[in-house]
Structure 1
Amino acid sequence: MSETPENTAPQAREHAARAGQLDAADPLGATVRDRFVLDDTVYLDGNSLGALPRAVPDRIADVITREWGELRIRSWDESGWWTAPERIGDKIAPLIGAAPGRVVVGDSTSINVFKAVVGGIRMAGKGCTEILVDATTFPTDGYIARSAARMTGLAVRPVEPARIADEVTERTALALVNHVDYRTGQLNDLPGITTALHSAGALAVWDLCHSAGALPVGVDAHHVDLAVGCTYKYLNGGPGSPSYLYVRESLQERFDSPLPGWNSHAEPFGMTPDYAPADGIVRGRVGTPDILSLLALEAALDVWDGVSIEDVRTKSLALTDFFLDCVAAYVPPGRVRSVTPQDHGRRGSQVSLACSPMRAGSVERGGTPIAAEVMAELIRRGVVGDFRHPDVLRFGFTPLYTSFADAERAAWVLGEVLRALPEEPAVAGAGR
């Protein structure tokens, strides 16, 4: 740690000591952290790409050299390749509060969003004319929802998540909502929104990309209809690892996938011209699965052995609270403000800070926003988060491997970087 300004030195010593105490008492602590390949970098971008679990390289080496290299085609049966999408789905299921047989893994998040939205529209009641889309959604979800609506003759209506309960009508087929806002880290009310949708006769389709593996979801308990999530963030499955699709058990018989493929056929090797869907969650499959990525994910999920998602949530909230305390102590007043809710019930597992000031006219003139420059400097100094346009510094906390010492160091380096910036007037309306 660099030399501290006089007014922050006592606070720095206090927070560093507190970080040590919290790490020593952490029930996840070193035992789980050691399951990952880490270095001296403070890695706070697990909400974009999780760290590498130690078990993955050897597993993939075996898949390549023995299962593919020696067994070859026999591995579809002898190595269990054929059943991997459902088997790995059952490993993800408890992390989102689902029973076995309700999650299938395969395809990209975008493809599974398409399946869920169109499949949901096909199950909706007659007379439905619209779908609601989270107005703050990750852009791809909105793009796919609009495309699905055009294909099915429905309209799309963007609605802020907090307003969905008031805006849903008997004409609404479904709502596609993000459980956690990717930009601000706000946790949306999955139980309340789902109940409101059902009361109006609409289905609830949830995007769990920024919540699964960071906090309890409870898809079964809250009667979620369909859900989709990626596996390369808090589930640490690797870059581009396959997505998953959840279909409520009572809906599986009615789920009519818009992408019927031979892998989801009741008799996949019958090669008949007519399509007959398989029973259960298997009908969420499409074509030949990406075996290398699937089996890397399966090995990555072993890090969850003996880990309670409730303990993960407890640590997540403690980490983000502690980080915010350190930011308040180390960062010059007025340079950042949190756009992540203080309320634990409305917070995911990230902290997003609107960074002021922004250089006047920098965006309009094609320049780089201050926040982008700050994040680039943080990364240069060994603290990895990410930047979201126009002014958000985003820090993701993955409780399986993020320590309280990491949180304290990140806040300290952020303070150093911001103290080095010249004072400039903030742009009105910066942030979100």
Structure 2
Amino acid sequence: MASFDDALARAAELDAADPLREFPRRFLRHDDPDIVAYLDGNSLGRPTRASAERLATFISDEWAGRLIRGWDEAWFDLPLALGDRLGSVVLGAAPGQTVIGDSTTVLLYKLARAAVAMRPDRTEIVLDRDNFPTDRYLIESLAGDLGLTLRWIDAAFDGGVTAADLTAVVSDRTALVVLSHVAYRSGYLLDAPALTEITHEAGALLLLDLCHSAGSVEIELDSWSVDFAVGCTYKYLNGGPGSPAFAYVAARHLDDFVQPIWGWMGRAAPFEMQQGYVPAQGIRRVLSGTPAIIGMLPIQDTLDMIDSAGMPALRAKSVALTEFALSLVDDWLAGVGVQVSSPRDPACRGGHITIDHPAFREATDRLWVRGVIPDFRRPDGIRIGLSPLSTTFGEVVDGVAAIRDDLAAS
């Protein structure tokens, strides 16, 4: 068994050799002594120094200085301009298909409702029981409203939806398949190209939830032929608490896309204030009300970093972090009854891992007090989320060691 000092020495070597080693310093309070290890970057990313400056400048210069003129000068087009940049840097999406606005829940509803309307003769929606609660609740509500039937997939607890799982449930009755690209609990990374192909062979449409993958794994929505996607921006994209989500609608669907929440910002010529709703051309038709401009500002700084580093480098760092964390878990925690509930194969794993032990509910509270911050996922899981831009290998050692010490003391 490796000693703490040996593990720390190995972490120091990995941090020194890390091509992304300069990026953690770009986040606020990364050197805060009260935060020993932040292991929850897949729930809420750290704020960047650049974003703190951008927000202050925006308030003093753009908001205070330009006032309502800001809408004509920049803000009106920001949801589309920022969507295009996100599509280019992170999503593998050509311009005109991605927009920022609303919460993940609202955008998920818009996309799902519009998608099933495109398959009016079909009666079923496919999803899995381990999908994020919002996805399950919303699709259950939608199915109830429209009289559609849900076809549930029961995926492996430490895995996720496979090609075989999906093949077994799709049919000529399937209108829509709703899946998370990375499973929120296990971290399972599904084979998006294969599942898209299976969905399309059945004549159905695919809606991917990218909340736990955008910014941690490489995504190619266009080349995979995904139909629709949605995701949040406050995890690996560091947008801040409640920052607006994003929606992707493949260009081939835009002319037929009719979203259910009609608002003035999604109308053609919105400032004409005309009677009757006529959807805007292109991706703007996804919008409804006035977008949250301030909430979009920090995303720009993370996209600058991702663009500079490149998604392949971020993915390589993410894999290295989770591999290192798993090696420490195997060395220090397996002997005290901790089980790994995430895929061992890095090709099937996103940016976080989950470990299980009956004592972890109480342990999580104690760890937070000590400045070690993972999160807890029922029934017995600690989820270790490692953001490739902000997390160091030294933090991983400190975090897993603290979990080991807490179990030993309890």
Aligned to 2:42: 47
State the Cα distance separating 1:271 from its structure 2 match.
Answer: 1.6
Number of matched pairs:
397
Corresponding residue of 1:72? 67
Partner AA of 1:225 in structure 2? D
Aligned equivalents of 1:201, 1:51: Cα separation in 2: 41
1:98-117 matched pairs, under 5 angstroms: 98-117=93-112
TM-superposition CA deviations, 1:113-167 (whole Å, max 9, x none): 001100111112x420111112211111111112222232312222232211221
**Which letter maps to 1:372?**
R
Q: Could you list the runs of 5+ residues in structure 1 that have no partner in the other structure?
A: 1-7, 359-369, 422-432
Moved more, 34-43 or 317-326: 34-43
Aligned-partner SS, 1:167: coil
- What pairs up with 1:126-275 in 2 under 5 angstroms? 126-160=120-154, 161-162=161-162, 163-275=165-277
Moved more, 258-267 or 149-158: 149-158
1:139 is matched by which residue type in structure 2? P
Q: Which residue of 1 aligns with 2:328?
A: 326
How far the C-alpha of 1:108 sits from its partner, in A, is 0.3
Query: With structure 2 as the length reference, what TM-score do the two structures score?
Result: 0.94
| Aligned with 1:13 (options 5, 17, 28) | 5
- Kindly indicate whether the alpha-carbon contact (under 8 Å) linking 1:335 and 1:418 is maintained by their aligned counterparts in 2: no
* Structure 1 segments (4+ residues) deviating >6 Å: none
CA displacement, residues 161-191 of structure 1 (integer Å, 9 cap, x when unaligned) = 2211221000000111011111111112211
How many angstroms does 1:309 deviate by?
A: 0.8
Stretches of structure 2 lacking an aligned partner (at least 5 in a row)? 155-160
Offset of residue 381 of structure 1? 2.0
**Which secondary structure state, in structure 1, belongs to the residue aligned with residue 177 of structure 2?**
strand
CA distance in 2, matches of 1:319, 1:299: 23
- C-alpha offsets along residues 335-393 of structure 1, whole Å, 9 cap, x if unaligned? 211001101121111110011xx3xxxxxxxxxxx211111122222211011122001
Other structure's SS at 1:21 match = helix
**Where does residue 404 of structure 2 map in the other structure?**
415
TM-score scaled by length of structure 1: 0.89
Deviates more, 1:335-344 or 1:263-272: 263-272
Deviations 1:87-132 (A, max 9, x none): 11112112011112110000000000001100111112x4201111
- Is the CA contact (8 Å cut-off) linking 1:11 and 1:329 kept in structure 2? no
Equivalent AA in structure 1 for residue 6 of structure 2:
E
Q: Which has the higher contact order (CA 8 A, sep 6+)?
A: 2
The structural deviation recorded for 1:253 is 1.1
Deviation at 1:202, TM superposition (A): 0.3
> d(CA) in 1 for partners of 2:151 and 2:363?
36
* Alpha-carbon distance between aligned partners in 2 of 1:340 and 1:48, rounded to the nearest angstrom: 17
| Change over 3 Å in CA distance of 1:339–1:70 after alignment to 2 | same
**Percentage of identical aligned residues:** 41
214-223 vs 291-300, which deviates more?
Answer: 291-300
**Structure 1 CA distance for aligned equivalents of residues 63 and 298 of structure 2:** 14
Deviations 1:40-81 (A, max 9, x none): 421110111000011112211122222222221011122x00
Corresponding position of 2:316: 314
